[in-house]
């Protein structure tokens, strides 16, 4: 079951300055927490849930961030278009930085075995034809399946 390029190698080291510059370029006021949350998303190799983000922040020099502030900053990043939110069928929200090279609307892959979610930035999703006077706010396509790693795992011995 060979798939083109999953998971997409998105992980990268991003400096605070770089993250701050991207926020400024988007015309946004830069605060310490905004930079840290955005940087963490940019560095992540895949979309992260709230608890995962919190863990990463706790492990970083920043230290823990309270849930409400984290939530507000994530919502803000989504609103200004620097991040996107993915809802897989496990009903967990995950967040990912919006990268320039990504198609604006792209599907996501949810592995039903390990529960991880990946962006499929190279696939674009054609917008559906809507009835007259209907307008789209957002569209989500989640592909449920088994990722390359889980597909290769040996069957459990018994
Ligand atoms: Zn998997
Ligand atoms: Zn995505």
**Cβ–Cβ contacts within 10 Å for residue 67, how many?**
11
Start-to-end CA span in the chain (Å): 25
Planar angle of CA 95, 100, 106, nearest 5 degrees? 55
pLDDT, tens digit, 9 for 90 and up, residues 46-55: 999 999 999 9
Å from CA of 158 to ligand 2 middle: 38
What pLDDT digit, counting tens, does each position of 1-18 carry?
A: 444 444 444 556 888 899
Over residues 137-146, the mean pLDDT reads: 88
Rounded to two decimals, the pTM is 0.76
Is residue 150 marked as binding?
A: yes
- Give the number of whichever ligand sits closest to the CA of residue 98: 2
User: How many Å lie between the centroid of ligand 1 and the Cα of residue 71?
Assistant: 27
> What domains appear along the chain, each with residue ranges and CATH number?
16-128+136-145 (1.10.10.10)
pLDDT digits (tens, 9 = 90+) for 149-158: 999 877 666 5
Q: Look at the chain and count its residues.
A: 158
């Amino acid at each position: 079951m060979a798939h083109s390029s999953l998971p997409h190698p998105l992980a990268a080291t991003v400096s605070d300055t770089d993250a701050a510059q991207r926020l400024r370029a988007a015309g946004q006021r830069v605060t310490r927490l905004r930079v840290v949350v955005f940087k963490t998303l940019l560095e992540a190799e895949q979309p992260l849930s709230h608890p995962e983000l919190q863990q990463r922040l706790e492990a970083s020099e920043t230290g823990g961030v309270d849930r409400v502030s984290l939530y507000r900053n994530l919502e803000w990043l989504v609103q200004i278009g620097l991040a996107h939110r993915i809802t897989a069928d496990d009903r967990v929200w995950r967040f990912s930085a919006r990268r320039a090279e990504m198609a604006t609307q792209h599907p996501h892959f949810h592995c039903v075995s390990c529960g991880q979610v990946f962006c499929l930035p190279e696939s674009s999703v054609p917008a559906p034809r809507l009835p007259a006077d209907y307008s789209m706010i957002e569209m989500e396509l989640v592909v449920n399946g088994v990722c390359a790693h889980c597909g290769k795992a040996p069957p459990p011995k018994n």
